[in-house]
Copies of this chain bind each other. A is one copy, B any other.
Amino acid sequence: MKITRNTVAKTAVLEIFGNSTTALSHTEIQKQLNEVCDRVTTYRILDRLIQDDIIHKIVDLDGTVKYAKCRHEHRVHIHNHAHFSCENCHEITCLENVKPSYLIPHSYKVKDINFTLSGLCPKCSS
């Protein structure tokens, strides 16, 4: 594996994630970066952060791609957690503790699950 370096742009991206409680799209990040770097660079930084397990990629119900910080609680990286997509504010939040149970024919070999709930988030339903 390549050694990843700490650059001005990468630090700026990490700070943006640090200030956000919801998932962010490339476009949203790019706007917040405010000319710090080229959009291609932002794509590459996001790729590196995913490889380093610092963020994860989420595909929203409408196909929109977003990114969110990974939480490595209890020294265990929780993969495959559920997400909530608000139909009103369009924010995506990680639901680290929601784990669906299900039954599927044995002929399918399940390796990964993707569970996204949609509706109104706490902020929008009150």
Which residues of A line the B interface, CB within 8 A?
59-63, 65, 82, 84, 87, 95, 98-105, 107-122, 125
Contact = CB atoms under 8 A, between A and B. Distances in A.
B125 A119 contact: no
A81 to B, nearest CB: 11
Nearest to A112: B118
State how many copies of this chain the complex holds. 2
Contact of A98 (B60, B103, B107, B109): B103
19 contacts: A59-B62, A61-B114, A82-B104, A84-B104, A98-B103, A100-B100, A100-B115, A101-B101, A102-B115, A104-B117, A105-B122, A108-B119, A109-B125, A110-B117, A111-B119, A111-B120, A113-B115, A113-B116, A115-B115
